[in-house]
Structure 1
């Protein structure tokens, strides 16, 4: 018992432990270490932080858990946003408090080792060398938190509430419903059918449209790169022209061209073969039109990308292949394609991710229509355009947020695993 008592007393008497215990009240540990200016500064910062933010954080955390208790007097959305901001402010406060503990303990350890405390000038010099970069990025970090992180947190939170057109504040208060919105997407009839239909088309649209634009861009780049082709600069300029025209202008023009009544495709071209295709009223043909339009809009970028990469393929590799009797197909398969994919794989993956969320072409072409019986999404809606309709047309904010989370997870997982499989990712940092 005496041994335990003595060891406990020794632990408490150590300067590092005394300083840590005193730092429960910010600044006292620094006073113990004779760092009076730092102690006063931390004490003033702590008191100022508590005075200015205590009421805001108190109401914010309360509102985050309850989302209000009195309809019309309490606004659930305002309380939710205040609660999320309170979490960030509280995080800054906790960071300052932890710094106070760590700083006091570090100075006490130096005191145990009989190292003198740095002077004010030395402390300022150390701050400039070690902390100045963090101090300079602080404004950007704050902007990032309140412009990017808070909206993302708000969207995530909405996915677990019952916020829709029939239950909207301030007339009604919101409630936390857990995973009910995700369960409805998997089980409830209209949500389940619509989600499966839209998700399937989104995957098909992403894979087919992106693959077509990549294949077409690669094919044209290989043709233009052929030594027998003349006027290469002129041909490249012409093929890149669709990229120079703003995409929304091209989409609106194509929407008029594919109009089944007065569009030039039906009236001037297909009418010669006594054929009229319902491009805008039939979901299948509308999807075909969208894939063709995206192929047209997307291939110039891929063409320009591949054209530049093909210029860097070492010619001696082709000469060696000719000596070995390699065919054109073998040279393409074993030299050209690996070289091109190694250099462009990350950008090609971004093409797939971009088309997965390509809202512009879907909405500008025919607003995701035509309507489909038994679904609350159009026949050509992809997930992002469906989310737009749920948000701005039917006010199903909770379901829109739930679908957005699913979209984010899908894209993140796809991009992560695809990047890890690319040769350029594996080679990064090796040299």
Structure 2
């Protein structure tokens, strides 16, 4: 028994040695396992990485924590970006380092089990079978990290700094302020009033405008799908026309139509009843106009979507309902609506998420105006248009970043829970 335990202890020696060598320096464990090509590649890659990036990573990490120490000489934004890039590069290096340790240990285990060292041809074949797909997606993954992840990390970092129009590099150095920006949004006078005003209007805008366009699209789809309606193709073509016109063109046209001075709505239509509505100067009427415009712009897509789904509802379901004496309302409630929602719920959720961040219509119609006393946002600004103004007009980058984080959390939480409740999402999870 003692000899058997000793023999087992001896068998465990190679894996421990290979692991230790790979921990000390990448490639040494592979060389110990006589995987010379793999070991030399990892060894050379590690040395090249350390030589070319050591100083960059060292300065980047230092700058990420300090954001500079000498005004005008150190640029906090450049140091912040360099630090984030250094973290990303370091993350890739750590991933390769962990792979190197696991690979050396696995090869040592195979040696202990009596497997022969694979030939070069077999190693290449194994890489092609297992690692080639990862190798092919690696360039896209790296591009995704630097095009998508890096800007997101930069935005997240700015939300915890004091970067604004009065404190901007290189004249001044930035500082980490923790959650102070978020606290200001909730507690400090003008920020608090503006945030809650814009936030509530954003919710109302999202819910009302999106719901109206969905209801209108659904109603029109039901009407056109009715067997008694003739010239269905012609009617569908006309109803989809607003979708064919670029949205920004339609918005600019509506901005002219709603102009209280020379717009056709006031001058040619409402003037016949001695009514003049301040569409652009009164926040309430401007919001009403925006909701009507978005309903007009959004219903064609919903109409086309529902039209296709309604045509896929099995006719025998309606026939069975007729046999059972079902009314039109019962067939709508128990057959049509469930079938439509099952097929379109994820897309309808995205409609809500899209309108929550619908910057184009707010900016092109009236740039979020009119102005509101005691607020640094316009009367029709939603969160995304307010972020735009804070970024490009008043240079309050820290507050804009904080608001963007809040927006992202709201949309993510809403979309997650709604997708989890949809039948289409649950059904897909089974396969």
- Shorter-chain TM-score bucket reads over 0.9
Q: Deviations over 1:152-178 (max 9, x none)?
A: 100000000000000000000000000
* Gap runs ≥5 in structure 2: none
State the match for 1:54 in structure 2.
Answer: 54
Q: Is the 8 A contact 2:12 2:112 kept in 1?
A: no
Quote the offset at 1:430 in angstroms: 3.3
State the match for 1:111 in structure 2.
Answer: 111
Q: Deviations over 1:294-353 (max 9, x none)?
A: 000000000000000000001111111111111111110000000000000000000000
Q: Give every structure 1 segment of 4 or more consecutive aligned residues whose post-TM-superposition deviation is greater than 6 Å.
A: none
Quote the offset at 1:102 in angstroms: 0.8
Quote the offset at 1:13 in angstroms: 6.3
Q: Is the 8 A contact 2:11 2:112 kept in 1?
A: no
Q: Deviations over 1:256-280 (max 9, x none)?
A: 0000111110011111111100000
Q: Structure 2 CA distance, aligned partners of 1:32 and 1:346?
A: 54
Q: Structure 1 CA distance, aligned partners of 2:188 and 2:327?
A: 57
Quote the offset at 1:11 in angstroms: 8.0
State the match for 1:136 in structure 2.
Answer: 136
State the match for 1:174 in structure 2.
Answer: 174
Cα 1:318/1:305, change in 2 over 3 Å: same
Cα 1:236/1:154, change in 2 over 3 Å: same
Quote the offset at 1:12 in angstroms: 10
Instruction: Return the TM-score normalized by structure 1.
Output: 0.97
Q: Structure 2 CA distance, aligned partners of 1:318 and 1:10?
A: 74
Say if 2:417 is the partner of 1:428. no
State the match for 2:228 in structure 1.
Answer: 228
State the match for 1:19 in structure 2.
Answer: 18
Quote the offset at 1:33 in angstroms: 1.1
Q: Deviations over 1:143-201 (max 9, x none)?
A: 10111110010000000000000000000000000000000001001000000000000
Q: Is the 8 A contact 1:349 1:415 kept in 2?
A: yes
Say if 2:362 is the partner of 1:362. yes
Q: Is the 8 A contact 1:12 1:18 kept in 2?
A: no
* Gap runs ≥5 in structure 1: none
Secondary structure at the aligned position of 1:385 is classed as helix
Q: Structure 2 CA distance, aligned partners of 1:387 and 1:55?
A: 36
CA RMSD of aligned residues (A): 1.4
Q: Structure 1 CA distance, aligned partners of 2:11 and 2:26?
A: 19
- Alignment length (residue pairs): 426
Q: Structure 2 CA distance, aligned partners of 1:205 and 1:233?
A: 33
State the match for 2:97 in structure 1.
Answer: 97
Q: Structure 1 CA distance, aligned partners of 2:261 and 2:244?
A: 29
Q: Structure 2 CA distance, aligned partners of 1:150 and 1:403?
A: 18
Cα 1:223/1:297, change in 2 over 3 Å: same
Q: Structure 1 CA distance, aligned partners of 2:280 and 2:99?
A: 62
Quote the offset at 1:10 in angstroms: 4.2
The 10-residue stretch of structure 1 (164-173 or 10-19) with the greater mean CA deviation from structure 2: 10-19
Instruction: Return the TM-score normalized by structure 2.
Output: 0.97
State the match for 2:248 in structure 1.
Answer: 248
Secondary structure at the aligned position of 1:369 is classed as coil
